[in-house]
Amino acid sequence: MCVTSSSGAGDGAGPGAAVARLTGRPVTGERRLSAALTEVGLDGGRVVMAKRGDGDGAVRAEAAGLRWLAEAGAVRVPAVHGADGRWLVIDLVPRGRPSAAAATRFGRDLAALHAAGAPAFGAPPPGGPVEAFIGRAPMRNVPGTDWPRWYAEHRVLPYLRRAVDDGTVRPAEAAVVERVCERLPELAGPAEPPARLHGDLWNGNVLWGADGEVHLIDPAAHGGHRETDLAMLHLFGCPHLERILDGYQEAAPLAGGWADRIGLHQLFPLLVHAVLFGRGYAEQALAVARSALRR
């Protein structure tokens, strides 16, 4: 990658200065990608990504999540080179093209990640905060032992209440989601142990690398139900999704009826998106809830 000369080398608040401080290596240049992301070149030719946070704990949560996922030795994630309250410095992932073979391998790797487990549903990564984030939405990591009860109390209902308070979901409409939460013990399928989740596994966080492998970024990592990660992949689509599922099922077959439960696991991200982006996602969440009640 060609990088321009760093114009902010003397700016203690700039990405170049932050990278130099956190890595202890001289910066040779930087290229601003967005308000939050900057590619930074280091002495010796390495290029890293500097991500600016808002000082609200998001950087700490993301760094802890990446390290926790990496510890499983299953999926590929960017190495964390430094983090503080404002900046996260990670490996840059050179982009490649999606391939069926990489998708199958990723499916097997994702199954291995989930099998690495977590201490409890809602358990945060070691060193990660209880008050974490999914995208730009707050997400509390409160441990629980019973998945249906935990999922309702700490993943679905907080965002439903926020959507009602914001006027995105009408109070009369909220009742259908609340009924789903009441019926979760019978709708959730066989009990499973807590899985080590990426937690925000939509297509934008699945990078097809130039090395021919899949790399995951921007986790909202926590202990959860493994079907939740797979439901997120279905929600926004993913290249070669069927091959990903084939690889997953080969390594760790899913419980019977899992496909019928996809919508149940999508309630959480749909309500998060309703809070962040409005009524369209609220309507999708309500439709998913009505469909679950017809089972």
Which of these is catalytic: 91, 109, 200, 218?
Answer: 200
> Is the separation of the CB atoms in 68 and 126 below 8 Å?
yes
Is 165 designated active site? no
CA-CA distances (angstroms) from residue 62 to 31, 108, 199, 265?
Answer: 22, 24, 11, 22
Token reading at 91: 């490996």
CA-CA distances (angstroms) from residue 156 to 80, 138, 139, 219?
Answer: 31, 13, 11, 19
DSSP helix/strand/coil, 68:
helix
**CA-derived radius of gyration, the chain:** 20
| Number of separate helices (H) and strands (E) present in the chain | 10, 11
Catalytic residues: 200
